[in-house]
């Protein structure tokens, strides 16, 4: 019995160490950043803050096609901001995203227009 309890406790601690959080919705989010003319913006910084698990924050820079992908479902993101030189920071949420596909992936489009 004691061995079983030790194994169970070890497994629980290992799951926590790997950051698996039961309260986070599985999935991923790809963000396309464009300017007001719908031209993809390379080099925009996207910062997200999660509302689940350990409330981690993460950031990514858009690549040459204006895309950045996060391993978090949009429902887990409570704050998301795009920053690009010469433009005001732009916040976005799930309203700019598609519905999740079967794997929980969503695509979002964010326009940076305000200077």
Given a cut of 90, whether residue 103 has pLDDT beyond it is yes
- In a domain, residue 14? The reply is no
- In a domain, residue 59? The reply is yes
Given a cut of 70, whether residue 31 has pLDDT beyond it is yes
Average pLDDT, the chain: 84
Average pLDDT over every residue of 10-26: 54
Give dist(CA 48, CA 10) in Å, integer. Answer: 31
Which pLDDT does position 14 carry in this prediction? 38
Q: Which residue is associated with the tokens 């160490």?
A: 17
- In a domain, residue 10? The reply is no
Given a cut of 90, whether residue 51 has pLDDT beyond it is yes
Of the candidates 110, 108, 111, 115, the one whose C-alpha atom is nearest the C-alpha of residue 85 is 115
What are residue 98's DSSP bridge partners?
A: none
- In a domain, residue 9? The reply is no
Of the candidates 72, 71, 81, the one whose C-alpha atom is nearest the C-alpha of residue 47 is 81
Query: How many domains is the chain partitioned into structurally?
Result: 1
Give dist(CA 20, CA 4) in Å, integer. Answer: 22
Q: Torsions phi, psi of 4, nearest 5?
A: -60, -45
What CATH number has the domain bearing residue 85?
A: 2.60.40.1120
For 48, the domain range is 23-112
For residues 81 and 11, which has the higher predicted lDDT (pLDDT)?
81
């Amino acid at each position: 019995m004691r061995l079983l309890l030790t194994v169970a406790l070890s497994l629980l601690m290992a799951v926590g160490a790997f950051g698996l959080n039961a309260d986070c919705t599985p999935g991923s989010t790809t963000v396309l950043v464009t300017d007001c003319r719908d031209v993809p913006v390379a080099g925009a910084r996207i910062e997200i803050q999660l509302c689940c698990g350990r409330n981690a924050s993460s950031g990514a820079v858009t690549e040459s096609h204006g895309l950045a992908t996060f391993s978090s479902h949009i429902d887990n993101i409570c704050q998301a901001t795009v920053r690009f030189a010469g433009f005001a920071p732009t916040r976005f949420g799930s309203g700019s995203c598609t519905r999740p596909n079967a794997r929980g992936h969503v695509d979002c489009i964010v326009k940076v227009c305000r200077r």
